[in-house]
Chains A and B, each alone.
Chain A
Amino acid sequence: MADSAVHTTEAGDDPSRRDFIHIAAIAAAGGAVAAIAWPLVSQMNPSADTLALASVEYDLTKIEPGQQVTINWRGKPLFIRYRTQAQIDEAVKDDSAQLKDPESDAQRHKPGKAQWLILVGSCTHLGCVPTVGGGEYGGWFCPCHGSVYDTSGRIRKGPAPKNLVVPDYAFLSDTKVKIG
């Protein structure tokens, strides 16, 4: 915009000094626009109250062996599965199988708590909620596009690229778990 002004003067004026002031002004305007853009972008991030509600506690005594409960965590389903010994054995056996996203069963539960498998219940393909006990591996089956997970929540068949996600969680006691 300003450069049409720059070519208009008589000789004798140092052109670099003349340019500088216009360039600085335009750069400052650009900087201001960038600074204003940040709050406008940042406001779309989760607000403070949303972040504050991000962890939940759950009492595990309510779950029977072989059963799974689904709770709401950050607006998404969270699977808490009380695995039977047979299901654990099956998962450990497959540690050596050909896996799309290789992970051992031991990496997917807390040490000494192999019976408790806690997973984010959304398919790593496009986010549908897999049904428990479906598919040929006895784990989960996603009805949307046919992804099959085993009893460790690992992807075994279908379009999903990754294993079901294990969230951050900690055992507060033997029967109480805090997720997030």
Chain B
Amino acid sequence: MSGHSTYEPKNGVSRWLDQRLPITRLVWDSFVDYPTPRNLNYWWTFGGILSLMLGVQIVSGIVLAMHYTPSASGAFASVEHIMRDVNYGWLIRYTHANGASMFFMAVYIHMLRGLYYGSFKPPREVLWLLGCVIYLLMMATAFMGYVLPWGQMSFHGAVVITNIIGAIPVIGGPILTWLQGGFAVDNATLNRFFSLHYLLPFMIAGVVVLHVWALHVVGQNNPTGVDPKSKADTLPFTPYATVKDGFAMSVFLILFAVFVFYMPNALGHADNYIEANPLVTPAHIVPEWYFLPFYAILRAVPDKVMGVVAMFGAIGVLFALPWLDTSKVRSMRYRPMAKLYFIILLVVCVTLGFCGAKLPDDQVIPGLETFKVMDSDLNSFVWLSRLATLYYFAYFLIITPLLGLIETPKPTPETIASPALSHPATTPAGAAADAEKKG
């Protein structure tokens, strides 16, 4: 895709700059003239939405850091100071707190879109891996950010998650002490989490640059999964993709604003408005919603070490996915069997999230008497999460590799434009695209 550049400096100054630092050429080639498959649907707008959210989080976060005090004695009070006394502090903090949820919502849609349309398949493996790295960094950033208000959930969340490190045999204990900077989560832990919470978003931004670079080398996938073959298959990024992305962003912002202005605490926990107290654990400790599926996987396994392995394995399989999928067809649009299993995966992920929010021993179907299997009743959330966990791993490790070998995909179109051309209200696509080029 990174073919011949069409950038032509329009005046002396831009020509002078172009010969010394071709940055306008880079922007032109990447975001203006860049050929975009003409059939991208709204699921493709989430890449742009994610860049917007990264910007929102970095800007609001830098501003919050001007007022926040990273100390065990002052953190909670400084957050209240932001909420009460700082000009527009409430707006900035609610934006940042809900922004994290919005960011994760968008990233999950973005990842599922990649899964469904086979955007991880050759030649986009590196693109997918970089995306997985971004997701890992996001999780680390979000976790450490949640610790900063130093409420009860912040504190005990930090205790539980750092203790995961303690599951590593032999060296786990010393590493845990090193990570916490003491023998418990305390001032030192909070202070280093603040430092890292400030650092990691810039690392994310760096990997995002690589992610976009990799994207522009291999080109965008599209709903058919068929590579663009001629100019008829693509449109210039600007204005076609920019205006579509812009519209999707504005709709996304409406949803974001509903949370910030009308239900700012709906995604949080009441317990986090109680200042951290190391001596009392909240009755029901749960992570933020975007970690709930992983939390359910952690609790599904009765063994501490294996639970941690399973939790990290759930992300690990995503890294291996490009080499697990054996199908020759990219898009599930032409893979009815795969589509079915994908929908089950979707339900399973939501189920896992639901299980993560529940107490493990609570009944799934209230009042239904069943029998005990292993350590728990079959009609309990711990068993539901076990079954869901099994499917999650089976999808990636068994179903995906097998399906590519046994399924019969539907015929795929020759080119992107061929199904699009059957659209009644179209002029010949080649002519229209050529007209675009002159503009």
A contacting B, Cβ–Cβ less than 8 Å: yes
Chain A positions within 8 Å of B, measured between CB atoms, are 1-2, 4-5, 7-8, 25, 29, 39-40, 42-45, 47-50
* Contact partner, B81, options A29, A39, A45, A47, Cβ 8 Å: A47
B307 is an interface residue with CB less than 8 A from chain A? no
For B439, what are the chain A residues with a Cβ–Cβ distance below 8 Å? 4-5, 7-8
Q: Are B236 and A39 in contact (CB under 8 A)?
A: no
* Contact partner, A48, options B32, B84, B238, B239, Cβ 8 Å: B84
Q: Are A42 and B59 in contact (CB under 8 A)?
A: no
Known contacts: A39-B87, A44-B66. The answer to whether A29 contacts B435 by CB under 8 A is no
Q: How far is the CA of A50 from the CA of B67 in the complex (A)?
A: 12
B242 is an interface residue with CB less than 8 A from chain A? yes
Known contacts: A43-B92, A47-B89, A49-B81. The answer to whether A2 contacts B243 by CB under 8 A is yes
Question: What 9 pairs between A and B have smallest CB-CB spacing?
Answer: A39-B88, A47-B85, A48-B85, A5-B239, A4-B439, A42-B87, A49-B85, A47-B86, A7-B439
Known contacts: A4-B439, A8-B435, A8-B439. The answer to whether A43 contacts B239 by CB under 8 A is no
Q: Are B59 and A8 in contact (CB under 8 A)?
A: no
Chain B positions within 8 Å of A, measured between CB atoms, are 32, 59, 63, 66-67, 81, 84-89, 91-92, 236, 238-239, 242-243, 246, 435-436, 438-439
For B239, what are the chain A residues with a Cβ–Cβ distance below 8 Å? 1-2, 4-5
Q: Provide 30 A-B residue pairs closer than 8 Å at the C-beta atoms, listed in order of the A residue.
A: A4-B32, A4-B236, A4-B238, A4-B239, A4-B439, A5-B243, A5-B439, A7-B439, A8-B435, A25-B243, A39-B92, A40-B59, A40-B63, A40-B88, A42-B87, A42-B88, A43-B63, A43-B66, A43-B86, A43-B88, A43-B89, A43-B92, A47-B87, A47-B89, A48-B84, A48-B86, A48-B87, A49-B81, A49-B84, A50-B85
Q: How far is the CA of A42 from the CA of B91 in the complex (A)?
A: 12
Give the interface centre of B32, B66, B239 by most chain A CB atoms within 10 Å. Answer: B239
For A5, what are the chain B residues with a Cβ–Cβ distance below 8 Å? 239, 243, 439
Nearest-CB distance from A18 to chain B (Å)?
Answer: 12
* Contact partner, A29, options B67, B87, B91, B246, Cβ 8 Å: B246
Nearest-CB distance from A39 to chain B (Å)?
Answer: 4
Q: How far is the CA of A118 from the CA of B189 in the complex (A)?
A: 47
Select from chain B the residue with minimum beta-carbon distance to A51.
Answer: B85
Q: How far is the CA of A25 from the CA of B239 in the complex (A)?
A: 13
Select from chain B the residue with minimum beta-carbon distance to A39.
Answer: B88
Select from chain A the residue with minimum beta-carbon distance to B60.
Answer: A40
Nearest-CB distance from B64 to chain A (Å)?
Answer: 9
Q: Are B89 and A40 in contact (CB under 8 A)?
A: no
Known contacts: A1-B242, A7-B439, A8-B435. The answer to whether A43 contacts B236 by CB under 8 A is no
For B436, what are the chain A residues with a Cβ–Cβ distance below 8 Å? 4, 8
Select from chain B the residue with minimum beta-carbon distance to A52.
Answer: B85
Select from chain A the residue with minimum beta-carbon distance to B432.
Answer: A8
Nearest-CB distance from B283 to chain A (Å)?
Answer: 34
For B243, what are the chain A residues with a Cβ–Cβ distance below 8 Å? 2, 5, 25
Select from chain B the residue with minimum beta-carbon distance to A5.
Answer: B239
Q: Are B242 and A45 in contact (CB under 8 A)?
A: no
For B86, what are the chain A residues with a Cβ–Cβ distance below 8 Å? 43, 47-48
For A49, what are the chain B residues with a Cβ–Cβ distance below 8 Å? 81, 84-85
Select from chain B the residue with minimum beta-carbon distance to A48.
Answer: B85
Q: Are A43 and B85 in contact (CB under 8 A)?
A: no
